[in-house]
Amino acid sequence: MTAPSQSPIYDRVALIGLGLIASSMGHAMKKWGLARSVAGHARTAETRAAALELGFCDEVFETAAEAAKGADLVVLAVPVGNMGALAEEIAPVLKPGATVTDVGSVKQAVIEAVAPHIPNGVNFIPGHPLAGTEHSGPRSGFATLFANRWVLLIPGEAAPDAVAKLRAYWEAMGAFVEEMDAAHHDLVLAVTSHTPHLIAYTMVGVADHLRRVTESEVIKYSAAGFRDFTRIAASDPTMWRDVFLTNREATLDILGRFTEELFMLQRAIRMGDGDMLHDYFTRTRAIRRGIIEAGQDTAAPDFGRSVTGAGE
């Protein structure tokens, strides 16, 4: 399904921020020859040195503006809370006709922060690769991170040819690309990712509080359901802080629905209403079966991909 391109899609790509996502993009560009040159910027000298050592950047720069200068594609790969200041910094050096994209897990807040700084003649096409592992940093990336994973693009008012090029770029890395608007993106992700992550963080926190159950017991018996929660709850704290602060409305909406529903089940347990519980569990089981069947009906999404933790 990965179709390596025969010639570079972009001449020069700048990766701003060199964590898991950007380093994986760098490795993928090198593996499949998707850019003639890759420039990078990270705040620390250590991270910049790692990028050169691992070879996923050709050049690194101490400032984002130096890295972005002359680039055909600029990828903003920093925590969502830092996107606005970054856009302001690089705006003066952006090349006419260039494309700016990002890889943040929320889209409305990024657009509000970044779009005002984008000069006329530059295409801003927000993006979100639904890929990740529980690891972070420049040494955690690998070329196949995006293989068989979805990338959501928010084309907005961008030029169609610029959108088509960015789509081809992601597809060359093995990803499936879907376009949607920013508000819908944020709601879909609140349901499928953001709220589940908050819940997993919470459950792991509760287990840690419980002194009557020793830590070793929690660890030993974690395979009985709890392990999936700990995997979800291990992702980058800064990224997730920014996700919840910037996708606040949709997350609070889904959380409200979740607690209403949980209280209903909690009350059924307290009252001994077995029929209600049985009906509920039967319905959710059917949803799971729908997911499995959908996965079998289409060769596209690899639902069996099991080694990575949760994405964004």
The Cα–Cα gap between 51 and 57 comes to: 6
Please give the residues from 147 up to 176 whose contact with a copy of itself meets the rule CB under 8 A: 149-150
Q: What is the chain's percent helix, strand, coil content, to nearest 5?
A: 55, 10, 35
Least distance in angstroms from the C-beta of 114 to a copy of itself: 19
How far apart CA 130 and CA 66 sit, in angstroms, is 29
At its nearest, how many Å lie between a copy of itself and the CB of residue 132?
Answer: 8
Q: Candidates 50-58, 92-100, 153-161, 188-196: pick the segment binding a copy of itself (CB under 8 A).
A: 188-196
> If binding is defined by CB under 8 A, does position 1 make contact with a copy of itself?
no
Distance CA(310)–CA(83), nearest Å, equals: 23
Question: Which DSSP symbol is given to 198?
Answer: H
Residue 73 in the binding site for a copy of itself (CB under 8 A): no
User: Does the protein bind a copy of itself through residue 181 (CB under 8 A)?
Assistant: no
Which is nearer to a copy of itself, 37 or 238 (by Cβ)? 238
Residue 166 · residue 13 · CB < 8 Å: no
Confirm or reject binding of residue 207 to a copy of itself (CB under 8 A).
yes
In one letter, which amino acid is 287?
I
Site size for a copy of itself, by CB under 8 A? 100
Shortest distance, position 260 Cβ to a copy of itself, whole Å:
9
Q: Which is nearer to a copy of itself, 44 or 202 (CB)?
A: 202
**What three-state secondary structure class fits 212?**
coil
Beta strands in 180-261, from DSSP E residues, in sequence order: none
- DSSP, collapsed to helix, strand or coil, labels residue 129 as strand
Structure-token pair, residue 30: 């090198």
Q: What residues numbered 106-145 form the site for a copy of itself, per CB under 8 A?
A: 130, 134
Q: Residue 245: CB partners within 8 Å, gap ≥ 6?
A: 81
Segment near a copy of itself (CB under 8 A), from 63-71, 85-93, 108-116, 194-202? Answer: 194-202
Q: For residue 37, what are the CA distances in angstroms to 15, 33, 60, 230?
A: 11, 9, 11, 38
Contacting residue, 44, 127, 189, 211, with a copy of itself by CB under 8 A: 189
In the complex with a copy of itself, which residue's Cβ is closer, 102 or 242? 242
CB of 140 to a copy of itself, least distance (A): 14
Instruction: Please tell me whether residue 32 binds a copy of itself under the rule CB under 8 A.
Output: no
Single residue of 144, 187, 211, 296 touching a copy of itself by CB under 8 A: 187
Footprint on residues 218-257 left by a copy of itself (CB under 8 A)? 218-235, 237-238, 240-242, 244-245, 248, 251-252, 254-255, 257
Nearer to a copy of itself, 1 or 227 (CB): 227
Report d(CA 311, CA 129) in Å as an integer: 8
Q: At closest approach, how far in Å is the CB of 174 from a copy of itself?
A: 14
Q: Which residues pair with 179 in a beta bridge?
A: 153
User: Taking phi first (over 0 means left), then psi (-120 to 50 degrees means alpha), and beta for anything else, what does residue 55 get?
Assistant: left
